[in-house]
Amino acid sequence: MSRQATLIFEIKGNALDDGPGIRSVVFFKGCPLSCAWCHNPEGQNRQAEIIFDGEKCIGCDSCIEVCKQQALSRNLIGFLDRGKCDLCGDCLEQCPSGALAKCGMSLSVNEVCSRVEKDIPFYTASGGGVTLSGGEPAMYPEFAGEVAAKLRQRHVHVLLETAGFFDSAAFDRFLYPHLDAIYFDIKIMDPARHKELCGVDNKRILENFRNLFRRSKEGGVCVLPRVPLIPGMTATQENLEDIANLLKEVGADQVALLPYHPFWMGKLARLGRSGLPAMGGENLARLMTPDELAECRSPFGNMRIVGT
């Protein structure tokens, strides 16, 4: 079976919000969902991409001079015509400022591990570890599982952040046995709405969630349900009530609510993707107010809420 390389688009150290303690986060490139509000849009596409940051550009034109496809021009909106670009990388080699950069590195399991193992003293001292995120790490169960297994041999705590749309057989075989914790996203309960806003049906996601959560109560890997709050999309009273009911049903006593932020929009431009989501409007351009956040908390009643 021809397999595309597993690409990593960032390994971020000293992360303090992706699990307990001081952590390194490994961001996998590629995701089966295509949420309208995705705050890591560079993680959606599993292929390598070129990002262009106009603010870093010094206007030296070295890249334009070397491009054999003539895909770069200051007359183009977004500067790079990704249709013409064949990802040869010559412009990246020439660019002195890093304005043109490749998003998505091909790293081996060992390479990923050696990068994050450098910080083991910090994990030990803080009760931290490594978080697998992205994109969707569960799209690469063998690779992610090997990384997790190697790290746990070194006594590193491994946490998975997932949107839950994965093949449970492969997940259980390769990845689940090597995890210490799972942060599981529940976004939208209504299947049609989920399909509309996230690109896929949510049946598999909810099945996986129920399954994993049941097992967590039977001594398996602990699971924390997380809800990204997106105004007008996930953060409606109806949706949140439905989620609260689901959590009650499975017997969850805590939930993480992730307040919305607008900072991902800048990334779209750098990826050459224009056009903001039509829905949501001005609410999507700002942080949520404390009142709005309080409203989001209310459907969850007495549950322990983390994150807001």
Partner 1 sequence: MKNWVIRQLVPALLRLMAFQFNHRASLRKSLKSDQGWINFTIGFRTEDRAFQGGLSFLDGKVTAESFMLESPDTTMVFANEAVMLEMISHTPNEVLDMLMLNKIKLEGNFTYLNLFNFYLSTLLGGFHQRMEIKRRRRHKLQRKEVAKTENGPGEKSRTTTPERLHAPTIDPGVRYLKNPYLSDLGLTDFPRLQGFLSRHFSKRPEICPERSRLLTRWYKKNGFETDGQGNPWSPELRQGQAYKYLMENKEPIIRKDDLLAGTTTSKPVGVTIYPDAHGTMIWGELLSAPNRELNPYNISSETVEVLHKEVFPFWINRNFREWVRRRYDNPLCQKLDERFAVYFVWKTVGISHTIPDFPSLLALGTSGIIEKIHQAIVKANGDVTRVNPLRAMILAAEGLNAYADNLSKQATKDAQNELDTERQAQLRRLAEICRRVPKNPPRTLDEAVNAIWITWIGMHNENTNTGLSLGRLDTWLQPYFEQDMAACKTEKARDACIRKTVELVGCLFLACCDHVPLIPDIGNYLFGGSSSDQAITLGGVHADGTDAVCDMTYIFLKVTEMLGIRDPNVNARYKPGVSSDAYLQRLCEVNKITGATPSLHNDEAVLASISQHGYPLGEARDWSAIGCVEPTIPGKQFGHTGSMLISVVAAIEMALGNGTHPLMNWKVGPETGEEFDSFEEFVKAFEGQFSFLIDQAVAYNNMLANAHAAIRPTPLLSAMMDDCVEKAKDVVNGGARYNSSGVALIGLADVTDSLMAIKTLVFDQKKTTLREFQEAIQDNFQSHPKLLSLVKNKAPKFGSGNAEAKEMAERVARFAHEQLNAHRNYRGGPYTTGFWSMSNHVAFGTLAGALPSGRLRGKAFTPGLTPQPGASVNLLDNLRDVASLDPKNMDNNMAFNVKVVPGGADSHQQIVDRMAAYVKAYFSMGGMQMQMNMVSSETLRQAMADPDSYKQLLVRISGYNAYFTTLNRDMQIELIERSEYGI
* Beta bridge mates, 158: 130
Give the tokens for residue 203. 């049946």
Q: Is 25 in the site for partner 1 (CB under 8 A)?
A: yes
> Between residues 27 and 213, which has the closer beta carbon with respect to partner 1?
27
Q: Could you list the beta-strand ranges (E) of 73-142.
A: 100-103, 105-106, 129-134
Residue of 49, 146, 161, 180 that binds partner 1 (CB under 8 A): 161
Residue of 98, 177, 251, 281 that binds partner 1 (CB under 8 A): 98
Q: Is 28:163 a contact under the CB 8 Å cutoff?
A: no
Q: In this structure, is the dihedral angle defined by the CA atoms of residues 33, 186, 150 and 175, taken in order, positive or negative?
A: negative
Q: Is 258 in the site for partner 1 (CB under 8 A)?
A: yes
- For residues 305 and 233, give the distance between their C-alpha atoms in angstroms, rounded to a whole number: 20
Q: Is 264 in the site for partner 1 (CB under 8 A)?
A: yes
Binding characters for partner 1, 57-96, by CB under 8 A (x = yes): -x-x-x---------------------------------x
Q: Comparing C-alpha atoms, which of 168, 166, 167, 180 is closest to residue 220?
A: 180
Name the strand (E) or helix (H) holding 243.
Answer: helix 237-250
Q: Is 168 in the site for partner 1 (CB under 8 A)?
A: no
Q: Is 40 in the site for partner 1 (CB under 8 A)?
A: yes
Question: Is 5 buried (19+), middle (13-18) or exposed (0-12) by CB count in 10 A?
Answer: middle
Q: Is 220 in the site for partner 1 (CB under 8 A)?
A: no
Give the tokens for residue 1. 């079976």
Q: Is 105 in the site for partner 1 (CB under 8 A)?
A: no
> Between residues 199 and 262, which has the closer beta carbon with respect to partner 1?
262
- For residues 195 and 205, give the distance between their C-alpha atoms in angstroms, rounded to a whole number: 12
> Between residues 193 and 261, which has the closer beta carbon with respect to partner 1?
261
In whole angstroms, how large is the CA radius of gyration of the chain? 20
Looking at this protein, which amino acid is placed at residue 74? R
Q: Is 12 in the site for partner 1 (CB under 8 A)?
A: yes
Q: Contact region for partner 1 (CB under 8 A) — 69-77, 125-133, 215-223, 242-250?
A: 125-133
Q: Contact region for partner 1 (CB under 8 A) — 105-113, 170-178, 196-204, 258-266?
A: 258-266
Could you give the 3-state DSSP secondary structure of residue 132?
strand
Q: Is 198 in the site for partner 1 (CB under 8 A)?
A: no
How many residues touch partner 1 (CB under 8 A)? 44
- For residues 291 and 231, give the distance between their C-alpha atoms in angstroms, rounded to a whole number: 13
Q: Is 6 in the site for partner 1 (CB under 8 A)?
A: no
Q: Contact region for partner 1 (CB under 8 A) — 5-13, 64-72, 186-194, 207-215?
A: 5-13
Q: Contact region for partner 1 (CB under 8 A) — 114-122, 194-202, 233-241, 276-284?
A: 114-122
* Beta bridge mates, 132: 26, 160
Q: Contact region for partner 1 (CB under 8 A) — 113-121, 140-148, 191-199, 297-305?
A: 113-121
C-alpha distances out from residue 229 to 86, 96, 126, Å: 37, 39, 29
- The values of phi and psi at residue 73, to 5°, are -160, 140
Q: Contact region for partner 1 (CB under 8 A) — 34-42, 194-202, 229-237, 238-246?
A: 34-42
- Interaction site with partner 1 (CB under 8 A): 9-10, 12-18, 21-22, 25, 27, 39-40, 42-43, 58, 60, 62, 96-98, 118-119, 121-122, 124-126, 128, 133, 161, 256, 258, 261-264, 266-267, 286-287, 307
